[in-house]
C-alpha cells in the first residue's frame, strides 16, 4: 500500500520506491530506501510527516504515493 494509506503511529517497512529517476533519487537522499523502517507521525490532507532513520521528514502527497510500504 502507498505511504499515504499507512496508519498513523504504526511502524512499516518500505517495500519499493517508485516514480521517475529524479523522484527516486530525491527520496533516496531523504532516506527512503527499500527495507528501511518508517513510522507515520502525522497525516494531514495527504501530506505526511514520518519518522525515518531517527529523523522527521515531511513529504507531500505526490511523493508519498510513490513509496510502497508493507
Please list the ranges in the chain whose pLDDT falls under 50.
Answer: none
**Cβ–Cβ under 8 Å, residues 5 and 61:** no
Tell me what pLDDT residue 60 has.
94
Helix H or strand E segment including 22: helix 21-30
Q: Is the pTM of this model over 0.85?
A: yes
pLDDT at residue 46, as a whole number: 83
Taken in order of first residue, the domains within the chain and their CATH numbers are 3-69 (2.30.30.90)
For residue 12, give the C-alpha cell. Answer: 512499516
Amino acid at each position: 500500500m502507498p505511504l499515504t494509506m499507512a496508519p498513523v503511529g504504526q511502524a512499516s517497512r518500505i517495500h519499493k520506491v517508485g516514480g521517475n529517476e529524479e523522484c527516486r533519487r530525491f527520496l533516496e537522499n531523504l532516506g527512503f530506501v527499500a527495507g528501511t523502517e518508517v513510522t507515520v507521525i502525522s497525516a494531514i490532507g495527504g501530506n505526511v510527516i514520518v519518522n525515518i532513520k531517527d529523523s522527521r521528514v515531511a513529504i507531500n502527497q505526490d511523493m508519498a504515493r510513490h513509496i510502497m510500504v508493507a
